[in-house]
Every structure is written in structure tokens, then in C-alpha cells.
């Protein structure tokens, strides 16, 4: 006699009466009762996590001889009874399925309807016939400086939080739909939950993989060495291993007393698959699987899960590269399934949901069809009579201003039809599976402002703060960058800074005698955290960060810094792969061959289209013929592997050649008259910035000589302009003034004196204005923050900064002169 573990969940009573008064004689009345409300009705059992029938949904199919099916679905709270008319003499098949939050239990019976009452028993197998998709999210966290993990399940709207673990979890379900979780809480434990999600029990056991035999109903645990033990009802393990899986590599499945597992029989040998009966007989394999799951041009694939259904072993795998490096210069998230015949592993497997070979363009997958393929097959999460359900975990990557970046996490449930091997996909919004990669986001930083500090002797530097508007009271606030002005040593930070297109912040500083560049990374909470420093040989005048458009340097971020060496104009370069500033390396310098001793670079920015520099050309310096001209030049990116001597590929004039009104005297400014000093004019292009492929610039115009203590000026003014220089792809030939205030009147001087771009925000420009007005002996400093909505230039939001935020320079009166200084 077969020893099949079955239980009677219900006695299905079919009562067919010949009701001549009410019905035609050829029909009988079929009455089904499952909740005991009718005679011989079923009992509702709930032992060991089985469904409570009186409160569980049910599905009943009555299949007639011609294939016509009567389907009735009974809700959880509905009476479990129904009445149907069935022809006498008809042979019918009855399939009943009881459902709970974890799975379903099915049974069937055949019966030929005869005259009179009919009694039919439907026996539901104690073993589950299908598991609902188990939604879960595993999250890596940090506890007391150590890695740890959290795991959350979602069962029919109910959340289950597993105990925190010091290592990654393993979990699986048995034939009763109960959930088993392996947790490392210092010691290894098994936690077991009912099929409704209630904690049932736990025991101290070390299991690396759960494997349930859905045919026999037995639950197994596999330890890290490949020993297979049956897990008993009291969570004890069979004393001796039922089987030993040689060279076990963490993935296995068991069904119908057969086990298949992943192995590697040598440190450099390829992965293999092997199968055998649990008693050791009738083995198949081992067979290499590398050629069946690896994707050309990608990393070696990682096997995540095994599952057996019928005579087939389904091997789930992924290959992922989440950051660009020299060894793997592309971003991708790929995976799939290889289906093996468990009785003949040497036969070529069926490949499902992936392509053997993919192509890349600009570090991204080219024309890959995710509507038919996996992002990453990571775990079997359910099954029924027709399908296997799989967690699909991966990401989309795209080109951004910062280069190739992850732009969206993808979490899907994939249904694999076991008859046709076809796939269908459903986006999952609750579960995150195993991985959530950091997504590229449209930059939206807080505003950075700074105060200039001076010790009254020789040490000066900047403290930097993050603010929302700029008028906040910062007394008691901690800067995120602090200069050691009042100490004998330490870093003195300059006002030479920039952002990259991923919102990170860079600033130059001097650490005692060493010039350095410092990087600060924007965290998820919007605050900056230090990310290291790199020594450079020269003090930079201006800096910029971009990705390279040179194919050989694809995927690298480059920090450019301009410095002069004699009459040479040089751009130094630091380069690193994304988010790996620790390994930034100093590369060969670029020499700007088309600049000479009359030229000075005052600002710089960069993107994939090139390097853009503001050049101020002064001729006839310190003479009545002194004139200045301001241009912006575009230089092409150069290979990092060699030095380069280059000239601009485009130049646009910002300010035409203009006389400074230097007086026609042979004596220095200390002997100028006040009228001569007041008439002196000057302009500077202080900053360049790129937003959505448009290059913007900030200029200031000054009237009145304020360079040193002998300036002699008695009234000094400053104004400025916000400019559109052009498109970075092609600059064009003219500059557009977007906003200006010439500042040449006492009431307007210093009201708009743009100096730096101080935030990265979508569709906005945020600008620090460092202005002044001075007359006779009284200086008035004016420090503001302007916010422009791009396209709405006439009406910026204007905020006067709190007194502490004095920005870079102050107008002071000393020695009968106005001086514009950081001291």
C-alpha cells in the first residue's frame, strides 16, 4: 500500500436527488459543502500551518466529459457551500483548491453521477500544490561599525521582520507553506513561521541552504560543507547526513528523493552541476555549466538558486557590474535560467531569458530587450501547476552628465511557464529583493556659503556651510569644512571650489606647505562627508571636474586644475573611476599653447564636450595703454596617457578690448590723484558653469582702483552680469546678457556682484554675490545669494546673507585707501 501522506481536509458530499416535482429527470442536484453546514460536511483543520477552511478562500472546478468547466471561487468569509445541476450519467472530475497567505493545497476526485444520493470524498494532499510568490527585501546595514543585515517578508499584506543577522540570510518554505529562515545572531539559528506568517518556533542550528522535497513533503537543510540533513518536525536535524554533496558551492535543490547541486572541484576550475539520488545511486554529471550561463563580454556569472520541477533542474544566475573599472568598463545587470534534464545533465540545457552575447556603446548595453529577458534571476519565490515564479533583481543604466550611471532599480516577478518556457514579467513595487543600487538623481544640493577668516597676521582661509537660503543664523553651527586659521598648523581652505555633475564638492587647500585638493561626497541626507584628499604640485587658480570623452579613458572622472608655471599655462589632471577617489592618480599636464604672458585663466569648467576656460588678456599693463579683453576658450579632451600641448578649438569674446583708464603719469598709483583712482575700471569673469549643455558665466565690473593700500580712490563701485556664453557642443559667436546691474550708482553698487555658482539644482542657477560700495572713508559690504529659475531671468530670488557669511573678500578702508581683500 502506498504510504502517501494525505489528510482529509474535507468530505465532499455530492447529493444527487431525482426531484421529479421540481427538476427534469435527467438532471441531478449536486450539493457541495465544505464547512460542516450540511450533513457530512468537511472539517476545518489548522494544524501545523495548514489553511483554516472556514476562513480560507477556495476554488472549485467541476469538469464535465466534454471539457466544459464550471468554476466557483469562494471568498474567505463566504459560506463554503454551493449547488449545481449535473446530468445523471455524466462523468465529472472535481478539483478543489484551498488557499492561504503562503500557498495552496489541492485535491481531485472523479465520479459518475447516478440516480439517488452520491457521496464523494475529495482528499487534499498534505503537501502543498503551489506556493504564492514570497515577497522579501534583504537590506545591508551597519551596526557598531560592522556589516549586518535585515530581512523583511510580505505575506498577503502582512510584514514579517526576521531577527537581525550578522551575515546574509538563507530561507525557504516546506510542503506546508511554512517559512524557514537561517539567522546568524552570533550563533546560527533556524526561525520557523506558519504559512500565515506567525512565528512558530526556533532552534540553534547551522544551515546554509534549505531544500524542500515537494513530492515527498520532507524538508532538508544543507550545511556549509554540503552535508544534507532532514529537518524534523521539532527542528532537530537527522543525526547523520543523508547525503554529502562533494565540493558544494551554496546552491542545491531536492525533489522526489533526487538532489542537484552546484560544485567547484578546484580553486580555478569552472562551476559544475551534479545530480544523484539521496541514497547515492543513479548519479548524473558533474557537467560544466560555465559555457551555458556566461555572457560574452561580462563577468563570470554567479549562480543564485536551483529548483527542480519534474525532470528538470532550473539554474538561476546573474552577472552584474555596478561600477566602471579598468577591468570592466561597462555597466550592466544581466541574468537568466539554464534548464537541465536531471537524468542527463550532459544534454545541452535550454537557455531562458538571456542572450549569450551582448554589445555595448558608451559603457552601456546596446539594444538589449529587457521585455523578454531577465535583469537578474536571483531566487525562485513560488510555483503552481503551470508556472515557476522568480525574483528578478537588477537595474537600468543610462548616459547622464556624469557619464554612464545606474538610473533605476528594477524589481520584477517573472512567471516561467514550465510547458512552453515562455516568460511574462510583472513590476514589483513592495519587495526590493537583495539589492538596491544607488540611483543617479537629478542634482539638487543645498546651497554652500562660506566665511573668510584671518588671524591678523599671516593665516587666512575659508569655513564652508550648507544652508537652504543663505540668511540663516549660523552662530553655533558647525561648518562642514573648517580652516585652521587660529592654529599654528593645519589646512587653510581657499575659495577655489567646484561641483561635479553628481553633486560632489571639491575645494583646494594648503596643508602646511602642501597644496591639496579635497573631495566631499553628498550623502543621502543631503549633507557632505569628506571623501579624501590628493596632493598636487602647484596652487590652483581654478578647478573643474568632468568625465572624459576620450574612448581610452571611458568611465573615468577627471579633476582639472589650472596653474601657471613661469609663462606656461598648464592644466593638471587627477583621474579615477567612479566613486573611487582613493585611487585617483596624477596624470600628465595639458599645456595651453595659445596663451602667452599677457593671459591669465580666471575660471574653468568642463563636461564631455570639452574643457572651457575664461581668459583675461591684459596688454600695456601699468601704462596709459593698459587694456583688457575677456574671452572663453574651448579645448578638446586629451588622452590621459600622454602629455598634450593644445590650442583652443573655439573662442568666443565676452568683453571686447577695453581701456582701464590708467592715468598718463610716470609715477605709481601712490601718487595718483583721487580723480585718477576713481576713474580706473576693471572687469573679471569669475566663474563658469554648465547646466543642460548650456555654458553660463559670471562677470563683475569695477570702478575705482582698490588693489592695495595706495589706491587713493575715494568712491568705488561694483556691478555684474549673468551671461549665457553658448552651448557646450558649439559655443557660437556671441554672448547673451541674461541679467545685469552695472552698479555705477551709490544705490546700485554691490547689489549684484556675482562671484561663484554655489549649488547644483534642476532648472536653477544659484549664485553668491560678493559686492560693496565705498565712499570717502566708509565701506559697505553687500553679500547676497541669488536664485534664478532658468528662463525667468528678470526676477531672481534675492537673499541677503547673515553677517557671518562674508564670502571671499571685504572692502576695507585703510591708509587713506579702499582695499578689496580677504584679510
CA angle in degrees (0–180, nearest 5) for 16-17-20: 145
Alpha carbon distance 30, 298 (integer Å):
61
pLDDT, one tens digit per residue, over 198-229 is 999 999 999 999 999 999 999 999 999 999 99
Count of residues for the chain?
823
CA–CA gap between residue 75 and residue 58 (Å, rounded): 7
Phi, psi angle pair for 630, to nearest 5°: -120, 130
Distance CA 289, CA 293 (A): 6
Q: For the chain, count helices (H), then strands (E).
A: 2, 61
What is the per-residue pLDDT for 536? 95
* Phi–psi pair at 744, nearest 5 degrees: -95, 15
Q: Are 641 and 552 in contact (CB under 8 A)?
A: yes
If one counts every other C-beta atom within 10 angstroms of the C-beta of residue 498, the result is 26
Task: Flag residues of the chain having pLDDT under 50.
Answer: 1-24, 37-49
Grid look-up 530670488 returns 797
Largest CA distance in the chain: 133
Q: What grid cell was written down for 805? A: 557669511
φ and ψ of 698, to 5 deg: -120, 125
CA count, 13 A, side-chain hemisphere, 494: 18
State the Cα torsion 306-308-311-317 to the nearest 10°: -30
H or E element that contains 308: strand 302-309
Question: Which grid coordinates belong to 50?
Answer: 495548514
CA distances from 500 to 492, 536, 546, 634, 807 (A): 22, 19, 7, 18, 21
Find how far residue 298's CA is from the centre of its chain. Answer: 20
Taking the C-alpha atoms of residue 146 and residue 167, their distance in angstroms, rounded to an integer, is: 10
d(CA 696, CA 58): 67
Stretch (H or E) spanning 14: strand 13-14
The enclosing H or E element of 291 equals helix 290-293
The CA distance from 10 to 119, in Å, is 12
The DSSP bridge pattern shows strands 644-646 and 585-592 to be parallel
Instruction: Please report how many Cα atoms fall inside a 13 Å half-sphere around the Cα of residue 788, on the Cβ side.
Output: 23
Measured CA to CA, the distance from residue 481 to residue 519 in angstroms comes to: 11
Cell of 396: 537600468
Catalogue all structural domains in the chain, each as residue range(s) with its CATH number. 6-126 (2.60.40), 130-244 (no CATH), 447-821 (2.120.10)
For residue 542, how many C-alpha atoms fall within 13 Å in the half-sphere facing its CB? 23
Cell for 812?
576695507
The answer for residues whose C-beta is within 8 angstroms of residue 322's C-beta and 6 or more apart is: 331, 333, 395, 406, 437
Produce one character per residue of 653-671: b if its CB has 16 or more CB atoms within 10 Å, e if not: ebbeeeebbbbeeeeebee
How many CA within 13 A on the CB side of residue 21? 0
Question: Which residues, 6+ apart, have CB-to-CB distance to 313 below 8 Å?
Answer: 253, 260, 273, 275, 306, 307, 339, 340, 341, 342, 345
The CA distance from 513 to 507, in Å, is 17
Cβ neighbours for 400, distance < 8 A, ≥ 6 positions apart: 407, 440, 501
String of DSSP letters for 560-607: EEEEEETTEEEEEEEEEETT-GGG-EEEEEEEETT--TTEEEEEEEEE
Q: What is the pLDDT of residue 34?
A: 61
Residue 691 CA, chain-centre distance (Å), reads: 22
Radius of gyration of the chain (CA): 38
In Å, how far from its chain's centre is CA 21?
Answer: 72
Residue 55 DSSP class? G
Strands (E) across 113-198 are located at 118-119, 124-125, 130-131, 135-143, 146-155, 158-161, 170-173, 179-184, 188-193
Measured in whole angstroms, the distance separating CA 244 from the mean position of its chain's CA atoms is 40
- Buried b / exposed e over 623-648, threshold 16 CB at 10 Å, is eeebbbbbbbbbbebbebeeebebeb
pLDDT at 277: 96
How much is the pLDDT for 16?
37
Query: Rounded to whole angstroms, how far apart are CA atoms 376 and 392?
Result: 5
β-bridge partners, 508: 517
CA distance 164 to 772: 59
Residues 6 or more apart in contact with residue 632 via CB below 8 angstroms: 612, 613, 614, 615, 651, 652, 654, 685, 688, 695, 697, 725, 726, 731
For residue 52, the model assigns a pLDDT of 67
Amino acid at each position: 500500500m502506498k504510504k502517501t501522506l494525505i489528510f482529509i481536509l474535507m468530505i465532499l458530499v455530492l447529493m444527487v436527488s431525482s426531484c421529479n416535482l421540481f427538476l427534469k429527470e435527467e438532471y441531478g442536484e449536486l450539493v457541495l459543502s465544505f464547512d460542516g453546514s450540511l450533513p457530512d460536511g468537511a472539517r476545518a483543520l489548522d494544524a501545523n500551518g495548514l489553511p483554516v477552511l472556514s476562513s480560507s478562500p477556495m476554488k472549485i472546478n467541476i469538469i464535465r466529459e466534454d471539457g466544459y468547466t464550471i468554476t466557483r471561487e469562494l471568498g474567505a468569509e463566504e459560506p463554503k457551500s454551493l449547488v449545481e445541476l449535473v446530468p445523471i450519467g455524466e462523468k465529472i472530475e472535481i478539483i478543489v483548491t484551498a488557499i492561504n497567505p503562503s500557498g495552496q493545497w489541492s485535491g481531485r476526485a472523479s465520479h459518475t453521477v447516478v440516480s439517488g444520493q452520491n457521496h464523494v470524498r475529495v482528499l487534499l494532499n498534505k503537501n502543498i500544490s503551489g506556493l504564492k510568490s514570497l515577497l522579501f527585501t534583504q537590506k545591508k546595514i551597519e551596526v557598531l561599525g560592522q556589516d549586518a543585515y535585515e530581512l523583511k517578508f510580505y505575506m498577503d499584506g502582512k510584514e514579517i521582520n526576521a531577527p537581525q543577522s550578522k551575515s546574509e540570510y538563507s530561507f525557504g518554505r516546506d510542503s506546508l507553506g511554512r517559512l524557514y529562515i537561517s539567522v546568524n545572531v552570533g550563533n546560527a539559528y533556524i526561525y520557523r513561521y506558519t504559512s500565515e506568517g506567525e512565528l512558530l518556533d526556533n532552534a540553534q542550528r547551522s544551515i546554509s541552504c534549505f531544500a524542500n522535497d515537494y513530492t515527498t513533503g520532507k524538508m532538508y537543510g544543507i550545511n556549509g560543507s554540503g552535508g544534507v540533513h532532514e529537518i524534523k518536525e521539532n527542528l532537530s536535524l537527522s543525526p547523520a547526513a543523508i547525503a554529502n554533496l562533494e565540493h558544494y558551492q551554496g546552491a542545491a535543490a531536492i525533489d522526489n528523493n533526487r538532489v542537484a547541486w552546484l560544485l567547484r572541484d578546484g580553486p580555478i576550475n569552472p562551476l559544475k552541476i551534479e545530480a544523484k539520488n539521496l541514497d547515492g545511486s543513479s548519479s548524473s554529471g558533474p557537467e560544466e555549466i560555465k559555457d551555458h550561463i556566461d555572457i560574452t563580454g561580462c563577468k563570470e556569472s554567479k549562480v543564485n538558486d536551483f529548483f527542480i520541477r519534474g525532470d528538470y533542474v532550473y539554474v538561476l544566475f546573474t552577472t552584474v557590474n555596478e561600477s566602471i573599472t579598468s577591468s570592466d568598463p561597462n555597466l550592466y545587470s544581466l541574468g537568466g535560467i539554464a534548464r537541465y534534464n536531471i537524468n542527463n545533465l550532459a544534454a545541452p540545457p535550454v537557455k531562458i531569458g538571456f542572450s549569450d552575447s551582448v554589445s555595448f556603446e558608451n559603457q552601456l548595453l546596446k539594444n538589449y530587450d529587457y521585455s523578454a529577458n531577465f535583469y537578474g534571476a536571483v531566487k525562485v519565490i513560488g510555483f503552481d501547476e503551470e508556472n515557476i515564479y522568480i525574483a528578478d533583481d537588477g537595474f537600468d543604466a543610462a548616459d547622464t552628465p556624469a557619464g554612464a550611471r545606474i538610473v533605476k532599480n528594477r524589481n520584477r516577478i517573472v512567471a516561467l511557464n514550465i510547458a512552453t518556457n515562455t516568460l511574462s514579467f510583472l513590476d514589483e513595487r513592495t519587495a526590493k529583493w537583495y539589492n538596491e543600487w544607488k540611483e543617479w538623481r537629478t542634482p539638487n544640493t543645498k546651497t554652500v556659503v562660506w566665511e573668510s577668516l584671518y588671524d591678523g597676521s599671516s593665516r587666512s582661509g575659508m569655513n564652508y556651510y550648507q544652508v537652504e537660503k543663505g540668511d540663516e543664523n549660523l552662530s553655533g553651527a558647525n561648518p562642514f569644512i573648517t580652516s585652521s586659521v587660529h592654529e599654528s598648523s593645519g589646512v587653510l581652505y581657499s575659495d577655489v571650489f567646484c561641483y561635479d555633475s553628481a553633486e560632489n564638492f571639491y575645494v583646494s587647500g594648503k596643508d602646511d606647505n602642501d597644496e591639496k585638493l579635497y573631495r566631499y561626497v553628498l550623502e543621502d541626507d543631503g549633507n557632505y562627508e569628506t571623501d579624501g584628499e590628493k596632493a598636487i604640485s602647484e596652487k590652483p587658480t581654478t578647478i573643474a571636474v568632468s568625465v572624459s570623452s576620450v574612448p581610452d579613458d571611458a568611465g573615468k572622472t577627471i579633476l582639472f586644475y589650472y596653474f601657471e608655471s613661469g609663462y606656461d599655462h598648464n592644466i593638471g589632471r587627477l583621474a579615477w573611476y567612479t566613486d573611487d577617489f582613493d585611487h585617483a592618480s596624477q596624470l600628465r599636464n595639458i599645456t595651453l599653447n595659445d596663451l602667452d604672458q599677457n593671459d591669465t585663466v580666471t575660471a574653468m569648467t568642463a563636461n564631455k564636450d570639452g574643457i572651457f576656460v575664461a581668459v583675461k588678456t591684459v596688454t600695456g599693463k601699468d601704462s596709459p595703454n593698459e587694456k583688457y579683453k575677456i574671452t572663453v576658450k574651448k579645448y578638446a579632451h586629451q588622452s590621459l596617457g600622454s602629455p598634450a600641448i593644445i590650442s583652443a578649438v573655439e573662442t568666443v569674446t565676452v568683453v571686447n578690448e577695453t581701456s582701464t583708464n590708467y592715468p598718463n603719469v610716470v609715477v605709481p598709483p601712490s601718487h595718483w590723484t583721487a580723480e585718477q583712482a576713481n576713474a580706473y575700471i576693471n572687469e573679471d569673469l569669475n566663474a563658469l558653469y554648465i547646466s543642460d549643455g548650456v555654458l553660463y558665466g559670471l562677470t563683475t565690473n569695477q570702478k575705482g582702483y582698490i588693489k592695495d593700500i595706495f589706491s587713493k580712490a575715494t568712491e568705488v563701485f561694483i556691478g555684474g552680469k549673468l551671461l549665457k556664453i553658448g552651448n557646450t557642443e558649439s559655443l557660437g559667436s556671441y554672448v547673451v546678457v541674461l541679467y545685469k546691474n552695472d552698479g555705477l550708482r551709490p544705490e546700485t553698487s554691490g547689489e549684484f556682484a556675482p562671484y561663484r555658482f554655489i549649488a547644483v539644482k534642476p532648472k536653477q542657477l544659484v549664485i553668491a554675490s560678493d559686492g560693496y560700495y565705498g565712499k570717502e572713508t566708509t565701506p559697505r559690504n553687500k553679500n547676497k545669494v541669488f536664485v534664478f529659475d532658468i528662463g525667468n531671468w528678470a526676477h531672481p530670488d534675492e537673499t541677503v546673507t547673515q553677517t557671518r557669511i562674508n564670502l571671499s573678500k571685504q572692502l576695507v578702508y585703510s591708509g587713506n585707501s579702499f582695499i578689496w581683500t580677504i584679510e
